[in-house]
Structure 1
Amino acid sequence: MMALPAPCEDEAYAAFERRDRSYDGRVIGAVTTTRIYCKPSCPARRPKREHVVFYADPAAARAAGFRACLRCKPDEVARDRIAVAQAVALIEAAEAPLPLDELARRVGYAPHHFHRLFKRATGVTPAAYARGLRARRAAAALNQEATVTDAIYEAGYSAPSRFYETAGARLGMTPSAWKQGGAGVTIRWTIAATSLGPLLIAATEKGLCRVSFDEDSAALVQRFPNAEIAAGGAALEELAARVVAEVETPGRNADLPLDVQGTAFQEAVWQALRAIPPGETRSYAQLAAEIGKPGAVRAAGSACGANNVAVLIPCHRVQRSDGSMGGYAYGVERKRVLRRREGVED
């Protein structure tokens, strides 16, 4: 068990300087003057750079003769991650929603503490994760079951009324409309001119459901073949203008309403993306760690690729761990321009 190599140490020290919680559990900083090791988010004052060495885990730091910080308790990070993983498994295996008290008890935590811990690790609360899981299963079942009612029970809802209470929020339309390819739903669209090329902007009554370069209304027809796909009109003009403004000057219209849905994992990634301030970047590994899934780097990249609203969910702020930009659905050059507009240079 050895200290991290120099390039990795530079990245680790930068994470410690900004007290980056997403690095907790990924690296340990040890202070040579006090012989204490800490996690990156430790609130203690930072020592000089020359007095800090980094290790991959607490065991490596202990083997080198350091002891755990009593303030940030770095040895508990691994326990926290295991507990969250156990809770996710319990939620996914349960036939009915588990109350927070029971879920916390089964993983050995106080309910209020575990609620915060789970949300910090996954980006959503345990209840929201369970709702997302049921909605995802419902969406899949609606494409397979003979009736909507069969699909609702197959997804794990105790009664149709429980599904209908949340279906609009999770699916963006009624379950029947979802099953029937958007039947009864109106999606309005327009093509707006931007300095990065033509931009398709489409929205339901709830919010923007598609923002993409180099596409036209055919992309909407493919996804919702039975929806009413209508040309924009006055109702879409103001929304489209704000979208264009976000392309030209990123970060000023972050509160635009969205009507997008995904798996619980995808939505956690999208929330993490929207939390990245303009002018900052994250690696795919950092993004995965921020939602409590440090081993899901490829899946985090796939979630970025599944993003339906370019720029508004800013996947252009994510890059490879080596600092290179990585791919972008609408071309690397557009990604480069968007980053430069936020002050990020290659």
Structure 2
Amino acid sequence: MDEAICWRAVVENDRRFDGLFFTCVKTTKIFCKPSCPAKTPKRENVLFVSDTETAMGKGFRACLRCKPTEITGVNEKTKIAVEACEYINANRRADLNELGKSLGLSSGHLQRVFKSVIGVSPRKYLEFIKLKRFKDGVSGGKEVLEAMYDAGFESTSRLYENANQKIGMTPGRYKEGGRNLVISYSITKCSLGNLLVAATSKGICAVKIGDSPEELSAELGREFVNAEIRVEGALIKHFVDAIVELIEGNEVGLELPIDVKATAFQMRVWDELRKIPFGETITYAELARRIGNEKSVRAVAAACAKNNVAVVVPCHRVIGSDGGLRGYRWGIERKQQLLENEKADIALERKLFT
């Protein structure tokens, strides 16, 4: 089973996955149901197994709190989605029509069930898995064409189309660890502190806010360790000016291009974030509903926290169900200031034009 999906279920305490896999915690030697209410362990300390016998055979004992050995059934819709994921992962040339037939479902029914559980359509998931196979192949030393065909891509055009959307660089460049990627960046002052904006030739790849210019540039270097990074304010001045305007609460009236790396789920969340109108907020629960998975509130919050382009992807516009601001990667005070700036601009506009 896809470990990324397993981990998301654990983070969300998603009881729909109970009985379909079990979580073994290496530090405590205990195994649990995905919905166990105990504190979420660190990811590096977790091993996933398909049944209780395997867990006990590896020396783990059952959790006394969630009682994983007492499960009597499984959620049928989730079971179908898991079986579909296993089919896609096991078949290099996965055919979604054949997948539906093998599960005894129409393509429309499979689409609805899969998306309600996984959060993306079967086709989007297949694209993500193929791209992951390709990335693993070239990282492991395969030539681009060999990795492409092994991953299930039928042509270089399909590969490059997916790579440009999901990797943020060409397959050849990815094979070289981004060594020839050129990133221009600039650091300027704004009302929130120091603002770093970085961009490739395709779009903005990083927007960071902090107290120290040195720490911001060092963080950029760690994230793009093999890229050629240049301080070139003039080349990206139009991006910097637009982002400063957004920070100060002025709607710029255009969608800035981004060039970021993300999982299929993260990209889905970020796409939805960019649809939130200027000056408005929604809750994490509402954001989860908008992407078609009401149970994915925690995973949605985690995707917001991974956002590397502050303000451009406006994760600051997502708040708790009680109206609380919750967390923000760049500091809760900055989140509050951003929202206040946007609301002030909307209020001024209404005063002037009504």
Provide Cα deviations, 1:199-239, integer angstroms capped at 9, x if missing partner.
11000000000001125332232122221111124321112
Shift in Å, 1:285: 2.6
Contact 1:120 1:291 in 2 (8 A): no
Counterparts of 1:211-290 in structure 2 under 5 Å? 211-214=207-210, 215-249=215-249, 251-290=251-290
Return 192-201 or 162-171, whichever deviates more: 162-171
Match of 2:187 in 1: 191
Distance 1:180 1:232 in 2: 24
Distance 2:204 2:133 in 1: 23
How many residue pairs align between the two structures? 265
Distance 2:111 2:153 in 1: 22
Q: Could you say what secondary structure the match of 1:294 adopts? A: coil
Distance 1:230 1:306, change over 3 A: same
Q: Which runs of 5+ in 2 are unaligned?
A: 1-74, 345-354
Q: Which runs of 5+ in 1 are unaligned?
A: 1-77
Counterparts of 1:56-71 in structure 2 under 5 Å? none
Shift in Å, 1:251: 4.3
Tell me which amino acid in the other structure corresponds to 2:280.
Answer: E
Shift in Å, 1:191: 0.7
Contact 1:207 1:259 in 2 (8 A): yes
Tell me which amino acid in the other structure corresponds to 1:183.
Answer: R
Provide Cα deviations, 1:51-88, integer angstroms capped at 9, x if missing partner.
xxxxxxxxxxxxxxxxxxxxxxxxxxx99999877766
Tell me which amino acid in the other structure corresponds to 2:327.
Answer: G
Contact 1:284 1:318 in 2 (8 A): yes
Distance 1:272 1:81 in 2: 24
Distance 1:164 1:97 in 2: 19
Contact 1:201 1:240 in 2 (8 A): yes
Contact 2:115 2:292 in 1 (8 A): no
Distance 1:257 1:181, change over 3 A: same
Shift in Å, 1:154: 4.9
**Is 1:98 paired with 2:95?**
yes
Tell me which amino acid in the other structure corresponds to 1:192.
Answer: T
Match of 1:74 in 2: none
Shift in Å, 1:197: 1.2
RMSD: 3.4
Match of 2:166 in 1: 170
Match of 1:291 in 2: 291
Distance 1:153 1:339, change over 3 A: same
Return 134-143 or 302-311, whichever deviates more: 134-143
Return 220-229 or 258-267, whichever deviates more: 220-229
Tell me which amino acid in the other structure corresponds to 1:188.
Answer: S
Shift in Å, 1:155: 3.5
Q: Could you say what secondary structure the match of 1:209 adopts? A: strand
Tell me which amino acid in the other structure corresponds to 1:135.
Answer: L
Distance 1:85 1:251 in 2: 43
Distance 2:294 2:86 in 1: 16
